[in-house]
Amino acid sequence: MPISLGSAVRTEFPYFDAHPGSVYLDSGATSQRPARVIDAEADFVRSDYAAVHRGSSMATGEATWAFENARDRVAGFVGAGERELVWTSNATDALNVIALGMADASLGLGGDRFALRPGDEIVVTEAEHHANLLPWQRLAAKSGATLRWVPVDALGLWTIDALREVVTARTRVIAFGHVSNVTGLIAPVADVVAVAREVGALTVLDACQSVPHMPVDVAALGVDFAVFSSHKMLGPTGIGALYGRAELLDELPPARTGGSMITVVSMESAEFLPAPHRFEAGTQPVSQAVGFGAAAEYFGQVGMDAVWAHESELAQVLVDTVRGVPGVRLFGPPAGERRAALVSFAVDGVHAHDVGQFLDDKAITVRTGHHCAQPLHRALGTPATTRASASIYTTRDDIAALGAALSDVRGFFGADR
């Protein structure tokens, strides 16, 4: 698919009609939504809004069908099987569902294969988003396990060889990002899964920055769990997804308990439904699920091979553009190496927040700060970076505008003297 995919689909996104001439390069944080996704959620609220899985009315049946049909769409989009996709409030919540379930298992509340004991190890990388770090820190503290991490180099990159040096026979969990939200590094998933299987460890994949940008088949990848968010893939906020192999989900203790996730309840005990509903206590984000399903359907119609081809080209344009500006340091894979379409950089003599404000004054939206990855930025030797990230509606003109504005930053702040 040629690079024109960006301009070809841009008219389907109302945001750009509301902000003519703007450049939106913050899709790694939250992507814009096409009109059909907005309409799908709004039409459900207008016509079919009701409680799901509660009662026997026609209204409940119609709402439940829409809710579960959305689940089928999202599950099919990522290659998950029947009963293998759980709704969560976001990807952060999904990671906590896994970690909290393992904490309960470690207390003897079911799921022996998930129980951790002192001396067991949890492995992450130094590049992780806080969402894929803090839950494991907490699990280690609760269970007595040891948290270990794979170090990154000066560009913020880690390698499979470095992972092998950290993993031991006591490793029980390896949690890692498919694509770094700071460097754009694409992890060698198959190699990580192979290392994990050698020691019998579970693999947890943070797929937030991969599912919206490249073909992802979680079953084919071989990971045990994966998480991703709707709002990063053209869908609503307030909903995410947890993929887990069915037999694992059925054994993992549910992190939250209450209505709608049980079979039998007495005053002394309760029995839980099979996955996925055992993890969906209480009232669910029904309309958001419908929007999430519509976003998955939209991506399916565009074709993820086309999306990846488009964004692969944009990735190299971003790298070349940023590297071509004097006084700007680019982190992540070097030019010519495979990476996602996002770049993080530092401008010599100018704080990232000032860079972001300057770009914002030029109607260019980027992300500034530590991007919920303080340990990684500490390793990079900078407290903050500026990040530009693309999506299917991003064009070469957007990136050219970024480059032109970036060339003026140091002069504006007097940092080129």
Q: Could you write out the DSSP letters of every residue in 32-48?
A: ---HHHHHHHHHHHHHT
Which superfamily, per CATH, for 5-31+303-412? Answer: Aspartate Aminotransferase, domain 1 (3.90.1150.10)
Is the predicted pLDDT of residue 2 greater than 70, yes or no?
no
Q: In this predicted structure, what is the pLDDT of residue 4?
A: 54
Is pLDDT of 411 > 70? yes
0.95 exceeded by the pTM?
A: yes
392-407 average pLDDT score:
98
User: Tokens 């390896």 identify what position?
Assistant: 174
Mean pLDDT computed over 127-131: 98
pLDDT tens, 96-105?
A: 999 999 999 9
Domain regions of the chain by residue span: 5-31+303-412, 39-300
Tell me what pLDDT residue 111 has. Answer: 80
Q: What is the pLDDT of residues 169-200, one digit of tens each?
A: 999 999 999 999 999 999 999 999 999 999 99
CATH class belonging to 39-300: alpha beta
Return the closest-CA partner of residue 352 out of 338, 336, 332, 331.
331
Among 83, 90, 97, CA closest to 254: 97
Catalytic site positions:
372
**Residue 198, SS3 per DSSP:** helix
